[in-house]
Chain A
């Protein structure tokens, strides 16, 4: 059994393993970073660290935030360090049985399945598990 922290972006439900979620924050001043990629909203300060804020709507090519929206920062641990993922809202922690795992591909019309590690079938819906590593991947990186 796994515990998954679930949240929504543009009505789509996503999940990330609770072990990777460090905190959920609101109303933090974001400092813009000129010349950054489109999905990078800026940087914030979190417990003395500089953290890059990834706008998941931009990353997944979803419609932009309404101007009145107050997105939440989900603070996520990855192998590349700690990031903030901007999401619409955070809902409950979901406990998942391994046997409810279903094939990905057919259930991810809304976003590029590249960012989804797998998905779970819940009673009335499908939960997409985000691959945080893929979200923070820098595509043009030169491996030396």
Chain B
């Protein structure tokens, strides 16, 4: 028996490890039947040996696992993340039993039966869904009027309600357009009343689809404290804006991202207590998560007061990984090189899963997660010895925002009102007089202030074959916007009235395009992309030189040269006015 048990245990550990590996593979290739078959074989192996050795609890765990996998193989559809999580949980339960057998030679007197019940339910649910298995995910985007056969869960219902309400809001906006045409007090009254009712329904449905961020941060505190303790550190977590509501579907992604960022801060940012005291800092490190909403976006800023990023370490890493030559890297100023931490292509630089420029690849996970939800993540600030601020934004799907529409050529884009400072109409001749090009950067001058000018047609790759049809000296509009304390200007060919619009998400093919935070349907029923003003500002106007020009500061020639080498697109005025 002794010998048998020894063999059983060593085999079991091998099988468990194999299961772990296969489950990771399955996460990457959820449609692979081969991987499922391997997992199935693993469960069967467990089942056989547990029967042989009369481990009844292990037998019941592996039996249910085997049934689930058999079902998944037969269903012929992609394995969902939820399903993988279930298998992982089962795997963990099995591992615990094995550990217990290893220690005591016996099975634990009792096991957590809830996992078996959970899996049982999943199996039943899959059976009930049967045929509709592969159109399952459509329900969340799909709409009233196209009922999906089979079960209708509560979330289906609210999703459909939401879609209907969104359509009602579109209709309402169109009705508003008619108000000046029908000059009747009574009509106005009815429209207002109806509008309030629609708003009411919207608020209630939305309320049922959102949750306060506070619900997810409850256990963050514990995770942080535990990690900190293990490392001999002490950290205080503060959360501002717990009551801010986010779409329940985003909550999980936000949680994963925050865990990565917090873990990162605790492990690599915050110093050990004695080190902090030596550096004249408070003994407890502090991490703050600040949540707020503005316009179409939900924001969270994660700040720590730890060591901060070391620009030299990042340079060294960039050179080591052949992203830059030593000379190039040394020319990039400290406050710019740190942003490489979140640059595209930086992810995956680090095969060992260890450090990137003094920071671990947890940031890559956070970035990938946020971007998969159509959001953005960037380094807001970091001072060596003073800490790091990381800012993330996510579009608030289905929220209502006030937007103005601006035309660039024949195309139209929506800009949330919150960014708008002023619209200045003028003819293009006065515009040319009002523009000054300083060190290659175009500035719009108005009342003694300099506004960096963004040439949207160029950025949007606008090409108009019928350009000649447009009159030579048209009226244009300077749209002055503000983000993060910086004011800047865009030249628009037309601007329309403000309207209320519902933020819609873009498909995964498009959500990665930094120019847009989402899309919306305007009152003329045509879709329009929402410009991500914050991201555009950061992308095109984040250079130090532009900031200096705006503030009328002196600029050294060497700075301009570095800037040009850094490849920040200088806008070409001639091209725009051609």
Contact = CB atoms under 8 A, between A and B. Distances in A.
B180 interface: no
Contacts of A50: 504-506, 519-521, 527
Nearest to B512: A138
A77 B507 CA distance: 13
Contact of A34 (B137, B141, B515, B521): B515
A43 B519 contact: yes
Contacts of A52: 506-507, 509-510
B395 to A, nearest CB: 12
Interface string A112-141: 000000000000000000000100101001
21 contacts: A34-B513, A35-B461, A36-B510, A36-B513, A43-B506, A43-B519, A43-B529, A44-B527, A45-B527, A49-B141, A49-B504, A50-B506, A51-B507, A77-B138, A79-B135, A81-B507, A82-B138, A141-B508, A142-B372, A143-B27, A144-B372
Interface in A5-55: 19-20, 22, 29, 31-37, 40, 43-45, 47-52
B143 to A, nearest CB: 6
B368 A142 contact: yes
Interface residues on B, range: 35 or more
Nearest to A52: B507
B527 A31 contact: yes
Nearest to B137: A79
Given A34-B513, A141-B508, A48 B368 contact: no
A81 B141 contact: yes
Interface in A63-102: 77-83
Given A45-B527, A50-B506, A144-B369, A33 B513 contact: yes
5 shortest interchain CB distances as A-B pairs = A142-B368, A52-B507, A48-B167, A34-B460, A50-B519
Contacts of B462: 34
A108 to B, nearest CB: 19
Nearest to B148: A77
Contact of B134 (A32, A49, A79): A79
Contacts of B307: none
Nearest to B521: A45
Contacts of A20: 135
A83 B507 CA distance: 9
Interface of A: 19-20, 22, 29, 31-37, 40, 43-45, 47-52, 77-83, 133, 136, 138, 141-144
B491 to A, nearest CB: 17
A80 B508 contact: yes
A33 B506 CA distance: 11
Contact of A143 (B28, B163, B516): B28
A34 to B, nearest CB: 4
Contacts of A78: 138
A19 B525 CA distance: 27
Nearest to B30: A143
B254 to A, nearest CB: 14
Given A34-B462, A50-B520, A80-B137, 11 more contacts: A29-B526, A34-B459, A36-B513, A43-B506, A43-B527, A44-B527, A47-B143, A48-B163, A49-B163, A50-B505, A144-B365
B145 A47 contact: yes
B411 interface: yes
B347 interface: yes
B397 to A, nearest CB: 11
Nearest to A82: B141
B372 A48 contact: no
A3 to B, nearest CB: 13
Contacts of B142: 77, 82
Interface string B521-534: 10001111100000
B513 A138 contact: no
Contacts of B27: 143
Contacts of B146: 22
Interface string B339-351: 0000000010000
Contacts of B526: 29, 31, 45
A50 B143 CA distance: 12
A107 B134 CA distance: 26
A141 B372 contact: yes
B138 A79 contact: yes
B525 A45 contact: yes
Contacts of A45: 521, 525-527
B141 A138 contact: no
B170 interface: yes
Contacts of A49: 141, 143, 163, 504
B166 interface: yes
A36 B78 CA distance: 27
A45 B347 CA distance: 35
A32 B347 contact: no
B461 A19 contact: no
B525 A35 contact: no
Nearest to A30: B527
A7 B137 CA distance: 25
